[in-house]
Amino acid sequence: MVQINIRSAIEIEFDTVIAINPSIEINKTWQMDQGFENGVLTTKFREVPLPRPMRLTYPYPIKMIRQNLVENDLNLVAEENKHIVGFLSLIKANGIPSAKVTDLVVYEKFRRKGIASSLLINAVDWLINRKVNGIILEMMLKNYPAITLAQKLGFEFCGFNDVYFQNGQTAIFFHRKIN
């Protein structure tokens, strides 16, 4: 794990934050299979290797990421040597017992070094101090690295929406109780 500092983002850093390329390269994905037999609807997810690496674009446009940064309740940045290398944005809606991470992005050359985990752990600490009961991650079904991260950090699969993102991709949701 690299030596990083996690702190709240300030508005003048938003342009730096949204300049981080959120696309990822994947070589595995989850595939969803549904069936209906003898009055029982089943949905199964299975890990599938891809025949070649694929670049997965972020499901939201830059304009929406900026809007999240302005409107959300928590924005964290990860710094290494005073340079921003990742960020997390989270919304905590009133009356809902769980908060939702809307954006979690790390510069590609800094991925798989514990930065996204550190951002999520700091977000959970922030939520604990506000007596929020859980945290939700949403991601594209194809985003195998994010699925792996969620499982590693104790998040549990809690649902899907077949046409959730503007790009028509299926969203899957993971939840973790924190109180």
Any domain includes 46:
no
pLDDT in tens, 20-70: 999 999 999 998 888 998 999 888 899 999 999 999 999 989 999 999 999
- Taking the complete model, does pTM exceed 0.75, yes or no? yes
Mean of the per-residue pLDDT values of the chain: 92
Residue numbers of the domain that contains 130: 5-37+51-177
Look at the chain and report how many structural domains it folds into.
1
Please tell me the distance from the alpha carbon of residue 88 to that of residue 64, in angstroms, as a whole number: 14
68-102 pLDDT tens trace: 999 999 999 999 999 999 999 999 977 788 999 99
Give 2's pLDDT tier (boundaries 50, 70, 90). Answer: low
Residue 44 placed within a domain: no
Tell me, yes or no, whether 169 lies in a domain.
yes
Domain for residue 116, yes or no? Answer: yes
The answer to whether residue 42 is domain-embedded is no
pLDDT at 127 over 90: yes
**Nearest of 72, 70, 178, 84 to residue 134 by alpha carbon:** 178
Round to whole Å and give the CA distance between 46 and 173: 15
CATH code of 116's domain: 3.40.630.30
